[in-house]
A and B are shown apart, each in its own frame.
Chain A
């Protein structure tokens, strides 16, 4: 099990048990986390599963590769810690991962 924490723009926090091999987006979808829309289903075609990785985790998660960077340019409210959650595969290393759901995505 890999525990991940989602923080909403209003600071409410949901902690979810994911499993290794699942993506962060799939974990959020299964848990019904608001604001992670994942319109394209994980194909890296849209940018509606955008999250902000907590600063202390960005080193472990790593930066977005080039194509993902371009997709993120379409995501409102992106910053240097932005990633698409469909591109982050959970590993034991990411146990405790904390991310914030962008405000702009929540009120879609």
Chain B
């Protein structure tokens, strides 16, 4: 019988796992160990509202530290786990303290991919993963400053939009020939790029960064094409890397992240992994995938909690994702696996509000709704169905 659970990582997935264990009536010990100073908080606003306005950090917290105490969850902040010992079922902290567990949940998240390029250590080159990162970037974002964003994925584009709103002059540099190449249809990516350009954001596609120049602080981004992009600030938003070192050192199977089954079980008995750090089977018979999304983190955390307690698996839901840029809401239901061939159909106006219905062999696999929440909502029960009719307009 499970009597103690140690959760490594106090982000959204870790917090959700802890709370779910209690809600499922687990009465044993729960330790939630995180290295940041703040109680678990929402990360999506870091590139959106939190970056573009003065929001108090505490507003991002899901609940107060007292709420964890009331739920008898030992929230251990500013604590770094040094080692996981699956054979002895314990975790060891940097300060030497060791905690035994019957079940351990790794929710270590992901870190920003760093660029190993000349000048990458100059001042005013930022990443955006934590509240502290967001505060550092925000301090530099004065009207008229020049920000270069490296990476045209969701994080980079959201930060570009927020910075532009603050009056910064923004250039987005993307190595691929299109924005959002891994995560949206070409139609949506193109329309989003247009919105950015209309708002004055410069977008450079198919451009690789060669390095940075400057004195103490960055002054320009050097591109492989020879172009030089002057910049007072640089945000590196070139994707995330699973925080899997702890798992790897403990001998757990890892590829892109910590490999798990649908319920979060890793290759080590009693050890689970959830959220950004996990490369998981997302549905019965599916392949391993690492998805950085709130919904994925939350649902994996709940499935792992249920599995640890020997309870039935919670129902699987249609994956969804959202982004906000320039006040526009992009909402995506369903998931297009990499390499899947799709037929994409547009409803609405690509220059205004629209939705892209993505089919694979007549099966609706995803809907991308651009300021069309109705399409997003109504699509959800239809994902995976054949012969779905498009709405009239």
Interface residues in chain A, defined as those with a beta carbon under 8 Å from any beta carbon in chain B? 29-32, 34-35, 37, 39-41, 43, 45-46, 67, 70-71, 73-74, 108
Contact = CB atoms under 8 A, between A and B. Distances in A.
Interface string B296-340: 001100100000000000110000101000000001000000000
Contact of B42 (A35, A41, A45): A41
Main SS at interface, chain A: loop
Contacts of A45: 320, 322, 331, 376
Contacts of B298: 37, 39
A73 B23 CA distance: 26
B374 interface: yes
Contacts of A31: 67
A108 B312 CA distance: 10
27 contacts: A29-B62, A30-B64, A30-B67, A31-B67, A32-B22, A32-B63, A32-B71, A37-B298, A39-B294, A39-B295, A40-B295, A40-B322, A41-B44, A41-B62, A41-B294, A45-B322, A45-B331, A46-B295, A46-B320, A67-B374, A67-B377, A70-B373, A70-B374, A70-B378, A73-B377, A74-B381, A108-B314
Contacts of B22: 32
A70 B63 CA distance: 28
Contact of B63 (A30, A34, A35, A43): A30
Contacts of A71: 377
Interface of B: 19, 22-23, 42, 44, 62-64, 67, 70-71, 294-295, 298-299, 302, 314-315, 320, 322, 331, 373-374, 376-378, 380-381
Q: Which 4 pairs show the lowest CB-CB distances between chains A and B?
A: A34-B23, A108-B314, A30-B63, A70-B377
A32 B295 contact: no
B293 to A, nearest CB: 11
A37 B24 CA distance: 13
Contacts of A41: 42, 44, 62, 294
A92 to B, nearest CB: 22
B302 A108 contact: yes
A32 B26 CA distance: 13
Main SS at interface, chain B: helix
A95 B376 CA distance: 35
Nearest to A44: B373
A45 B62 CA distance: 17
A32 B315 CA distance: 21
A15 to B, nearest CB: 14
Contacts of A32: 19, 22-23, 63, 67, 70-71
A7 B254 CA distance: 43
A31 B71 CA distance: 9
B218 to A, nearest CB: 33
Given A29-B67, A32-B22, A74-B381, 6 more contacts: A29-B63, A32-B71, A35-B23, A45-B322, A45-B331, A108-B314
A74 B63 CA distance: 27
A46 B63 CA distance: 20
A72 B376 CA distance: 13
A46 B71 CA distance: 25
A32 B22 CA distance: 9
